[in-house]
Structure 1
Amino acid sequence: MKQYNNYIWFPSLSSETAFSGCLKASDLINRQSPKNRNIKVLNGNPNHFREISRYWKNNYISKTISSGFYVTTSALLYCEEIHLYGFWPFYTDLHNRPVNYHYYENVKLKKYGHSFGKEFKELLRLHSEGVLHLHADKCY
């Protein structure tokens, strides 16, 4: 966190679900050890999410974008170098092991309201153009 001046950005106002999750994360940060209490939470503008969603709806991805794709799009606006792990739209990984919907919970991938395949195809395009680095195997 030091390299980011102890700021962490949450897209907390983008939806009710995001708001609930960001409140929980913010509460966990505040309950940590004293050295973590100096972390400052920045809350995103709801118009930001709306406009990024509108951009992608007009450019290839018709369903609601996933939170990961939203944060990746935001990172493209602010970061010089981006490495992505865990973006995988298939039911099994490269070693034929089942893939969870989220890395932090044991829920299997089902049909959701997101276009994971289209998002992944866009990430692959950005990777091949050198805009970001997409990692599809182990996190090192």
Structure 2
Amino acid sequence: MVQLAAVAAIPAAPGTLGEAGRTAWDRLWTAGQAWLSPTTDLDVLTRLCEAHDEREAMRDQVAADGYMVPGSMGQMRAHPLLSEIRAVESQITKYESLCGFTPTDRARLGYAEVRRASKLDELIARRQQRGSG
């Protein structure tokens, strides 16, 4: 297994990214700095952030046009970009998964999920301490 160094500094965002993409870039590199590598993850992170820009542009257009728009015969129908938004959101989820941004993917990468101890966990720990002391 090859060990990659954690990201020391967030790589500069590509100049092609818009506001939503740059915001996602900073947020994702910050969140994933323990396992992301500019050497191996730069391209997929770029595509992920470009997808955020695309989603934002489509959502802005739907907001301007409304969720319902006239169809070819004048009937009201759902905005055609709504299905495109769902498609890009699905692609975003795939890119996030590739980059280890779900609990399952982080576990696959060997990064444990931090969770708060339950009352039962605390009780078991206290009993184990009493039994060993």
- Do the structures match in fold with TM over 0.5? no
More helix by share: 2
Q: TM-score, normalised by structure 2?
A: 0.26
Q: TM-score, normalised by structure 1?
A: 0.25
Greater gyration radius:
2
